[in-house]
A and B are shown apart, each in its own frame.
Chain A
């Protein structure tokens, strides 16, 4: 259909004029209420500077940087799952204990039954699928509000966990394959390979997209904007890889600890796959449609109920992945795994990252950015003050600020007609 459009006809006039224009467009969108991850990124930078200035030494140490990744991993994965449910305008309060239950199943199959780790992992993931299916069926088919269903599941799963773990109280995990996820690091050279793959992949995928749009005669991002993005990501990735590849063993012990933690691969993999699903497939598009206007989606022939069930399955299954990470990090599973503030931190992470509680707005990367914000607070504050009360208050305030930004940007969006 583009037969008459020759190469000569493809003008760069249709392209956005350059970096200046791209920046202006972006701020026009932000002013119009399409605020995205901007507050979270600014907040993250501000918090790092604040803790760095207030505390100095330990917070900014390379050891702590790696530690931060470990602390945020489970929350990030849990938040990724919650994004799917939040996009629909629903909530899953049971995700924390879904993680705990899956971890308990993993521990029982692995340690008590002595089976191989792939079987245990599969059993844990399957647990997540089943939990999600039950929640999804109750919400979509019976029409019970997700708040109530998942509140009930929150209680029930807590009990299920106790029953699965049994009288012992804590089940240790000794399988190396599971433990290495949260405790192992990549060889230095592999870390650099990963860095090159990330930046190169980002550059190539975006270049192909620009090319495709040019060929079709549509306005495309200019090359200068593309280059700026690639360079910015490149600097970020190279600095992070360099820092993680430094020896970070604290004094005395003569063991070498260096390299990018393996869990980074898990998180990046999920980020890429889930972003692809949400942004590039019909299924993902329909999730946004249902979150934006359920009736319109239904009339457009979208299977709203099936979609909702699938989203709850995604959420609980990702929670199961988070449960495996928790088990790996603690070397054991106890009745408190996935309990306490785990879920609230994960919901907080998604919302702080820019996912709307009202549905229809949010991205998988929000979970990563928001999860890092939460982890920075949880990690930095104890270094400044010993009072754990302050930590809860501050985390609560940050969540309130994020929810306010969400609500205000929504009001703004309707006021400016955006």
Chain B
């Protein structure tokens, strides 16, 4: 898998907010069909990196390649058009609308001026069954009646509804119980198995071990290492997160530009 072109490839990414150099020469490769865990301590730059990929605020410099073609992402709309979808931590669902309405929010299917409810409900159902989701009783129940895991499921299903190629998940299991975490991780795994590229932000080493194929570790705005999960132990990942290095993996000195 190392020889095919990555779905998303970042090279030498920099981003500053005023005097704060948040991202320094960051490289990242995300491959289709694999889950790339993005780990790092608070303030390491994970959110900044994700938001830039999602088009919320652009990179200052660096090269972005998507499906082998160089691109610049100016806004969320353009990211969506490329097939990049983000599931934010707060999910951004409307409690007073049902599952179908939430999945199509802002991108409703219409016939003339009227909403085409049957088509939307069918497509929502197909997407959910494509993800082997069987936990929802009815597509017409309001989101306020769903459990945390079910809400996460709806948010993820919304992200894959649009033939998306890269799904970015921000701490999807942070607020969930054991059983629901299991469900959501299975869902994340299925996204990758269906051929999508997945970036998973997580603080939870168990989650990372359970579902990730690759691990990318940010340390103080630099990419300390991007490795395959099988090459490192949990202990080594924790060392990477806290010190930026672990034995011969990670940044070997404190100079700029850490390399894998």
Contacts and interface: CB of A to CB of B under 8 A. Distances in A.
A292 B95 contact: yes
B115 interface: yes
Given A280-B114, A295-B92, A297-B106, A34 B97 contact: no
Interface stretch (A45-53, A163-171, A410-418): A410-418
A289 to B, nearest CB: 5
A301 B104 CA distance: 11
B61 interface: no
B58 interface: no
A218 B121 contact: yes
B16 interface: no
A296 B92 contact: yes
A292 B121 CA distance: 20
B122 interface: yes
B252 interface: no
B40 to A, nearest CB: 24
Interface stretch (B1-9, B29-37, B139-147, B168-176): B139-147
Contacts of B91: 296
A218 B100 CA distance: 13
A302 B92 CA distance: 13
Contact of A2 (B97, B101, B105, B122): B122
A184 interface: no
Contacts of B101: 285, 288-289
B146 A297 contact: no
A299 B92 contact: yes
A159 to B, nearest CB: 38
Given A1-B122, A281-B113, A281-B115, A32 B96 contact: no
Contact of B144 (A280, A282, A299, A413): A413
Interface stretch (A102-110, A209-217, A333-341, A371-379): A209-217
Interface in B79-107: 88, 90-97, 101, 105-107
Contacts of B94: 288-289, 292-293, 296-297, 360
Interface in B209-260: none
B41 interface: no
Given A282-B108, A297-B105, A417 B118 contact: no
A288 B106 contact: no
A187 to B, nearest CB: 34
B76 interface: yes
A63 to B, nearest CB: 41
A361 interface: yes
B21 interface: no
Nearest to B146: A417
Q: How large is the interface on B (under 10, 10 to 19, 20 to 34, 35 or more residues)?
A: 20 to 34
B119 interface: yes
Contacts of A212: 118
Nearest to B140: A219
B130 to A, nearest CB: 14
B114 to A, nearest CB: 5
Contacts of B108: 282, 285
A36 interface: no
A291 interface: yes
B11 interface: no
A418 B145 contact: yes
B122 A218 contact: yes
B176 to A, nearest CB: 14
Contacts of A256: none
A251 interface: no
Given A360-B96, A418-B142, A213 B118 contact: yes
A282 B110 contact: yes
Given A212-B118, A218-B118, A292-B97, A301 B76 contact: yes
Contacts of A417: 144-147
Contacts of A215: 118
A300 interface: yes
B122 A281 contact: no
Contacts of B144: 413-414, 417-418
Contacts of B77: 301
Contacts of A282: 108, 110, 113, 115
B217 to A, nearest CB: 28
A300 B106 contact: yes
A416 B145 CA distance: 7
A230 B24 CA distance: 67
Given A216-B119, A282-B110, A32 B145 contact: yes
B224 to A, nearest CB: 31
Closest 10 CB pairs of A and B: A300-B106, A292-B94, A292-B96, A296-B92, A360-B96, A216-B118, A418-B145, A301-B106, A300-B105, A293-B94
30 contacts: A34-B142, A215-B118, A216-B121, A216-B122, A218-B121, A218-B125, A281-B114, A282-B108, A285-B108, A285-B115, A288-B96, A288-B97, A289-B94, A292-B94, A292-B97, A295-B92, A296-B92, A297-B106, A299-B76, A299-B88, A299-B92, A300-B105, A301-B77, A301-B106, A360-B94, A360-B96, A361-B96, A417-B146, A417-B147, A418-B142
Given A282-B108, A282-B110, A292-B94, 12 more contacts: A1-B122, A32-B145, A34-B142, A285-B105, A293-B94, A297-B105, A299-B76, A300-B106, A302-B105, A360-B96, A417-B147, A418-B144
